[in-house]
Structure 1
Amino acid sequence: MTQPPGQQPWPAPTGQLVLNLESTWGSRSMITPQLRINGQSAPVRWGHNEIPVFPGRLDVEITCTYLWEYGRARDTVPVNPDSRVEVYYSSPYFTFLSGRIGPVPQPHRGKLALWLLLIGLAIVVVLVIIGAIAGS
């Protein structure tokens, strides 16, 4: 049995999920974001994504993929009929950390650890240079 022309077999989605996916600096080209809505994969990219969805409570899960999956963040997002819901995701600086998801822009996890690591490396480099100068 076929549908008459112009009719859809199911009603069209009437809600919209707006995802703002933010990566850490330098990783945008190497890392791919993955989205699952109620367990079903949906294509997304870094930046602004508008996804038509059916109204209801959506289980939104976002991960990043490099050599393995990391940065997992999950939230339940209520979407009313004929409405837009904005969600923000930020990936972590380190692959052993989870990402963050919420209704407002999210800070990246691991920023303090990254700064401490960079400062530690800078101190080691300065000490090596001082040691080389003092040894001459």
Structure 2
Amino acid sequence: MSQLPPPPPPPPGYLRLTVQGNRMLAMITPSIQIDGYPVAAQYGQNVYPIAPGPHRVSGHAQWMWRYGHAEQQFQVAPGQTADIFYAAPALTFISGRIGFEKQRTPGLVPLIAGLVVLFALLFGLIAVAALAS
């Protein structure tokens, strides 16, 4: 009696991860892990073939310390593509954002507000110095 060959494995699913931001502004490419394993990533779209089933994707950035951690669980069926978006924070003291829709950059408003106050103080000091001389 001949034995039937095993059935072929199901086709893979895909994770399409968009790492938001750009190298010119951030200068630090976030680190990405799928199910706890590091994968190569760059700003923009990154596509990874993965086995069907439940998965977890996480990201963080590293400068002097690790920051911007965010994590998302998702399910993928054979041949399906899961779209996920990760945004590292503008400030190194807060978490990143990750989800199924485009994410806003965390900490961007406080960063801009702080820079506006800093420049206002700087120009105020220059004006006072110019008037005093």
Question: Over residues 13-40 of structure 1, what are the superposed CA-to-partner deviations in whole Å (9 max), with x where a residue is unaligned?
Answer: 610000000136522xx31321111111
Match of 2:12 in 1: 14
Mapping of residues 25-36 of structure 1, within 5 Å = 26-27=25-26, 30-36=27-33
1:55 partner letter: P
1:37 matched to 2:21? The reply is no
Q: Supply the distance in 2 between the matched residues of 1:118 and 1:106 (Cα, whole angstroms).
A: 22
1:73 matched to 2:70? The reply is yes
**CA separation of 1:12 and 1:67: change in aligned 2, threshold 3 A:** farther
Match of 1:124 in 2: 121
Which is worse superposed, 72-81 or 12-21?
Answer: 12-21
CA RMSD of aligned residues (A): 1.8
Q: Supply the distance in 1 between the matched residues of 2:65 and 2:9 (Cα, whole angstroms).
A: 37
TM-score (norm 2): 0.85
Match of 2:107 in 1: 110
- Contact 1:33–1:63 (CA<8 Å) still a contact in 2? yes
Which is worse superposed, 12-21 or 97-106?
Answer: 12-21
The percentage of counterpart residues that share the same residue type is 32
Q: Which runs of 5+ in 2 are unaligned?
A: 1-7
> 3-state DSSP class of the match of 1:26?
helix
Match of 1:23 in 2: 21
TM-score (norm 1): 0.83
2:97 partner letter: R
1:117 to partner: Cα distance: 0.8
Question: Over residues 48-90 of structure 1, what are the superposed CA-to-partner deviations in whole Å (9 max), with x where a residue is unaligned?
Answer: 1000001111111111122332111101011111101100111
1:12 to partner: Cα distance: 7.1
